[in-house]
């Protein structure tokens, strides 16, 4: 079994957890066979966001089809 990993950054105005969910939800819309997600880092954008924008960088691993 072979897996591939991609890195995504999710965002939310509400929380870091919601930012992780945003990245996972988007991945599930276009990537099949997702097996796990690793949260790599968190950040909060304050410069260009009206309030705060919570960001989560995640690595999504999925099985490559034969």
Q: How many helices (H) and strands (E) does the chain have?
A: 1, 3
Q: Whole-model pTM above 0.75?
A: yes
Per residue of the chain (66 residues), give pLDDT as tens. Answer: 899 999 999 999 999 999 999 999 999 999 999 999 999 999 998 887 678 899 999 999 999 987
Q: Which residues pair with 61 in a beta bridge?
A: 5, 36
Calpha distance 9→53 (Å, rounded): 12
Instruction: Parse the chain into domains and list their residue ranges.
Output: 3-63
CA distance 2 to 53: 35
Distance CA 55, CA 61 (A): 19
CATH superfamily of 3-63: Flavin-binding protein dodecin (3.30.1660.10)
* Element spanning 31, H or E: none
């Amino acid at each position: 079994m072979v897996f591939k990993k991609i890195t995504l950054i999710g965002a939310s105005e509400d929380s870091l957890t919601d930012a992780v969910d945003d990245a996972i939800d988007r991945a599930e819309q276009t990537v099949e066979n997702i097996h796990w997600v690793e949260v790599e880092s968190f950040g909060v954008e304050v410069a260009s966001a009206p309030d705060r924008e919570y960001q989560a960088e995640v690595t999504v691993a999925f099985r490559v089809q034969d």
